[in-house]
Homo-oligomer: A and B are copies of this chain.
Amino acid sequence: MTDKLDLVLERTLNAPRDLVWKAWTNPEHLKQWFAPKPYEINELDMDLQPGGIFRIRMVGPDGFDTGHGNAGCVLEVVEGEKLVWTSALGPEYRPAEMASTGCESFPMTAVVTLADAGNGKTLYRAVALHRNKADRDVHEKMGFQDGWGTCADQLEELAKALAVNA
């Protein structure tokens, strides 16, 4: 039943799990891949513990404001395996105000999981949970698959580069 409320991106990345995790959890790395180019992240706050801040501000070409920038909240961190955060809450679990338009006009929870896929590859799964189908559909039309898909490509490239530089 809840399948209809979720959006799911699943990819096998050609990079080992520890480096994918590193690319996800190191703010300097995350900043490089978590916006689908030519969008860019110009501000990022991430405190990887339950109740910690998760905030990203994105700008598009010519300074186009995406409406991102609200402070979300980290909920679960399982080293190398799982990361959960939500925009329904801000830091210290305070309920968050939603923006009037854009990606932050509805609350969502993101559940990111990593699993070994053999041969130095990683099964990467990102699930967006919504409160109802209307929000899910809005998020889908905003381009969840394309956006998160492009980012997954960028994540793979970065994680592979980390291996070369290791």
Contact = CB atoms under 8 A, between A and B. Distances in A.
Interface stretch (A18-26, A57-65, A88-96): A88-96
Nearest to A96: B131
Sorting the interface of chain A by its residue count into under 10, 10 to 19, 20 to 34 or 35 or more gives: 20 to 34
Interface string A64-76: 0000000000011
A8 interface: no
A111 interface: yes
Contacts of A132: 97
A108 interface: yes
Interface string A96-116: 110000000011110100000
Nearest to A5: B94
Nearest to A106: B95
Contact of A129 (B75, B95, B111): B95
